[in-house]
Structure 1
Amino acid sequence: MAKKEMFEDGDASNVDAGTVSRSDFPPDFVFGVATSAYQVEGASSEGGRGPSIWDTFCRNKGKIVDGSHGDIAVDQYHRYKEDVDLIAKLGFQAYRFSISWSRIFPDGLGTNSNTEGITYYNNLINYLLEKGIQPYATLYHWDLPQYLHESMGGWLNKQIVKYFAIYAETCFSSFGDRVKSWITINEPLQTAVNGYGYGIFAPGRSENSSIEPYLAAHHQLLAHATAVSIYRKNYKEKQGGQIGLVLDCEWAEANSEKNEDKVAAASRLEFQLGWYLNPIYYGDYPEVMRKELGDRLPKFSDEEIELLRNCVDFVGLNHYTSRFIAYAEESPEEGDFYKAQRMARIVEWEGGGFIGEKAASEWLFVVPWGIRKVLNYIAQRYHNPPIYVTENGMDDEENEMCPIHEMLDDKLRVIYFKRYLAEVSQAIKGGADVRGYFAWSLLDNFEWAQGYTKRFGLIYVDYKNGLSRHPKSSAYWFLRFLKGSEGEHSKKE
């Protein structure tokens, strides 16, 4: 098993949490905060918006822990100016938000665009720019228009590539004169595996988990590549922007020096990053996926291989935590996706104790050295592409009995950001081309299947008192950090 001493003394050591400062990053490095439409906007039936699969999924009893939904969420639709003002006051340079597909095309089909939806995002983008904040727009953050799911099976039908392309081009033409950084799809793995395999995310399918996740992923890849092709052909030169794909990955560290554990850890990374980046950089899915999944993994035509070739200007990485990986002929985790990986995910050191301090979510442990390792891995495996850390953060448990001043004093989150940012800095010094970092999240919000039971925000949202906003200690830490006053004192000492 993994020995803790190796990580305390070796090249994977935690960087001293007190030494990170703004000056450890390049002058043009972008610092921002992130959210997604369904989690923060609300106004689910206002402004001409059509229903999404998450609106429907939340109505299925037992799917959301607290029985909640995003109908109001934290009401950013009506309070976007207040939230943008907060971003500006904290000193962030960029805001990563997502556009709701069903707010642009209520049925998703692309026949009649919704002018009220376009006006809303124009207003948001214009106000961001007025406040000196760069918009980073995500086209798809899981909220597929419900009609596309009902009428054609959503991501299971190749026709969706055409509809996504129409939607993407509408956004490029409507907003691209001001939006210079585009993300096509956020975490396609989560849509594929949890939406079409385990059924714990919208649209809640689990009936054919050995086939549907791989089909959904395949069509998401083609949709991404098609949107990139349209952008590069018709908009990139004129608008001067960039476009990428955001993937999620928990670092996979071999649990021992045994070759079988090393192979299992390498396979784990292929099933996370390689699933999407190998077709883009190497022309096909990873060999290990082909071997384990056989004909269940779709094949690319020659034309599709060409379409996918190098279809990213940057790679977006969402990273929160890490695991030790041991070989296991039979995975202890249920479901086809994990069984195909032939591994066990381990969260404890050889001598006992968790891999890192535990956050509120059962899957999230504070493991700063993991982010440096995954950034280095992407740099080495995929020809050192430009990388943005598009999400990084941790959650607290909602506690209605806890006084608000205690909820605002989020000491562990401050430690989390200090240590993870220190590791990002080290990855840059080691040669990884990391160009930006977005903290997740600007606000406490609707946390998918966990509803409002988990709080990831730098800003506390008081759900019982008019959704008022209150900056936490972590928000004030970023304010000092971005002004250059955080960390310098400890370097001088």
Structure 2
Amino acid sequence: EEIKSIIYLFDLNMAIFLERNLFLHFCLFLLFVTSIEASDPFNSSCFPPDFIFGTGSSAYQYEGTSYGDGKGPSIWDTFTHKHPDRIINDSNGDVAIDFYHRYKGDIKLMKSQGFNSFKFSISWSRILPYGKLSKGVNKEGIAFYNNLINELLANEIQPLVSLFHWDLPQALEQDYQGFLSPQIVDDFGDYAELCFKEFGDRIKDWITINEPYSYALFGYVTGSYAPGRCSAFTNNSMCGVGNAATEPYIVGHHMLLAHAKAVNLYRDIYKASLKDKIFFSYYTIVLFQFT
């Protein structure tokens, strides 16, 4: 049978400084359909009943309120303020699209577009300002994510939650250089367990770490992402510290250990009661031969 339509699905992250009227057009999961000799109608009935249409982003890209309501700074707060030249238009996430205060309206936009899922990340430093459970929990941060999850569910939008989307608490970077140290594994485990405890009764799917490869590559080889480390042999004038020959491998190793720590905690303690899924997301490129 001839192919009737080609579907292109794009998961577009919300850009840091999009105006509110652009949110509807560019920050949602866009569906482009190019019809080829199409004679049959094309709509949601063409998909299985459990097909997920959603959009996604990460906390630093859209939340705003980077320094308010008890939140601690992340490495992206430090990176964008210390090196504004590395960001287009010298942008940062201090305000972003102010999702922190305007999430209810944005969720209405999602619902109006027919989306039934939203992938978002929890800001580690919003609920643990110093990165460590032993140094205190920010109740205002917990309340924000509880309210967000409840609002999504009230609008029949299923949350898909990432625990780490690159915005490491700055305190852990200062204490022991973050994912360069094995100390990160236990701290990440404590953070993950707190999230499971506070939000796990409503979350069906968890992502431990978003694209560990990208974090290691752009943060420790090219230096273009926080924490902005690389080495002299890369001929990159942006970096003053780092070792691109070793650090990305160390970081990658510790990220895998942190992922395993969270997964084991989830399976050993919570899986029997929650019966949900936990995994990490990874960056892929699809290549086709030229000839």
If the length of structure 1 is used for normalisation, what is the TM-score?
0.48
Partner of 2:230, secondary structure, is coil
Paired AA for residue 149 in structure 2:
I
Q: What CA distance in whole angstroms lies between the structure 2 residues aligned with 1:61 and 1:70?
A: 11
Q: What CA distance in whole angstroms lies between the structure 1 residues aligned with 2:198 and 2:188?
A: 15
How much has 1:253 moved relative to structure 2? 2.6
Q: What CA distance in whole angstroms lies between the structure 1 residues aligned with 2:46 and 2:167?
A: 37
Aligned: 1:51 with 2:64: no
Q: 2:260 aligns with which of 225, 248, 251?
A: 225
In structure 2, relative to structure 1, the CA distance for the partners of 1:127 and 1:14 (3 Å cut) is closer
Q: What CA distance in whole angstroms lies between the structure 1 residues aligned with 2:170 and 2:102?
A: 26
How much has 1:218 moved relative to structure 2? 1.0
How much has 1:62 moved relative to structure 2? 1.8
How much has 1:17 moved relative to structure 2? 2.0
> Runs in 1 of length 4+ with deviation above 3 angstroms?
13-16
Which residue number corresponds to residue 90 of structure 2? 67
The aligned runs of 1:76-87 (5 Å cut-off) are: 76-87=99-110
Q: What CA distance in whole angstroms lies between the structure 2 residues aligned with 1:119 and 1:206?
A: 38
How much has 1:61 moved relative to structure 2? 3.9
Q: What CA distance in whole angstroms lies between the structure 1 residues aligned with 2:44 and 2:254?
A: 40
Q: 1:119 aligns with which of 135, 143, 146?
A: 143
Paired AA for residue 150 in structure 1:
Q
Aligned: 1:29 with 2:51: yes
Q: 1:245 aligns with which of 280, 285, 288?
A: 280
Unaligned runs of 5+ in 1: 1-10, 257-493
Q: What CA distance in whole angstroms lies between the structure 1 residues aligned with 2:183 and 2:284?
A: 28
Which residue number corresponds to residue 17 of structure 1? 34
Q: What CA distance in whole angstroms lies between the structure 2 residues aligned with 1:103 and 1:196?
A: 24
Which residue number corresponds to residue 157 of structure 1? 181
Which residue number corresponds to residue 234 of structure 1? 269
Aligned: 1:167 with 2:191: yes
Q: What CA distance in whole angstroms lies between the structure 2 residues aligned with 1:170 and 1:61?
A: 33
If the length of structure 2 is used for normalisation, what is the TM-score?
0.81
The aligned runs of 1:20-419 (5 Å cut-off) are: 21-59=43-81, 60-111=83-134, 112-207=136-231, 208-256=243-291
Q: What CA distance in whole angstroms lies between the structure 2 residues aligned with 1:55 and 1:152?
A: 18
Q: What CA distance in whole angstroms lies between the structure 1 residues aligned with 2:126 and 2:285?
A: 32
Which residue number corresponds to residue 28 of structure 2? none
- CA shift digits 1:282-321 (9 cap, x unpaired): xxxxxxxxxxxxxxxxxxxxxxxxxxxxxxxxxxxxxxxx
- CA shift digits 1:77-103 (9 cap, x unpaired): 000111111111211111111100000
Structure possessing the higher relative contact order (Cα contacts under 8 Å, 6 or more residues apart): 1
- Identity rate, percent: 50
How much has 1:29 moved relative to structure 2? 1.5
How much has 1:14 moved relative to structure 2? 6.0
Partner of 1:182, secondary structure, is strand
Q: What CA distance in whole angstroms lies between the structure 2 residues aligned with 1:223 and 1:90?
A: 36
Q: What CA distance in whole angstroms lies between the structure 2 residues aligned with 1:99 and 1:229?
A: 20
How much has 1:132 moved relative to structure 2? 1.2
How much has 1:201 moved relative to structure 2? 0.2
Q: What CA distance in whole angstroms lies between the structure 1 residues aligned with 2:184 and 2:226?
A: 16
- CA shift digits 1:404-452 (9 cap, x unpaired): xxxxxxxxxxxxxxxxxxxxxxxxxxxxxxxxxxxxxxxxxxxxxxxxx
How much has 1:65 moved relative to structure 2? 2.3
Unaligned runs of 5+ in 2: 8-32, 232-242
Partner of 1:217, secondary structure, is helix
Question: In the comparison of the two structures, how many residue pairs are matched?
Answer: 245
Q: What CA distance in whole angstroms lies between the structure 2 residues aligned with 1:148 and 1:69?
A: 21
- CA shift digits 1:254-303 (9 cap, x unpaired): 345xxxxxxxxxxxxxxxxxxxxxxxxxxxxxxxxxxxxxxxxxxxxxxx
Q: What CA distance in whole angstroms lies between the structure 2 residues aligned with 1:25 and 1:223?
A: 36
Paired AA for residue 285 in structure 2:
E
Partner of 1:213, secondary structure, is helix
Q: What CA distance in whole angstroms lies between the structure 2 residues aligned with 1:150 and 1:200?
A: 19
Larger Rg: 1
| Partners of 2:84 and 2:91 within 8 A in 1 | no
RMSD over equivalenced CA pairs, Å = 1.7
Which residue number corresponds to residue 26 of structure 2? none
Partner of 2:126, secondary structure, is helix
Paired AA for residue 103 in structure 1:
R
Q: What CA distance in whole angstroms lies between the structure 1 residues aligned with 2:6 and 2:196?
A: 41
Partner of 2:192, secondary structure, is helix
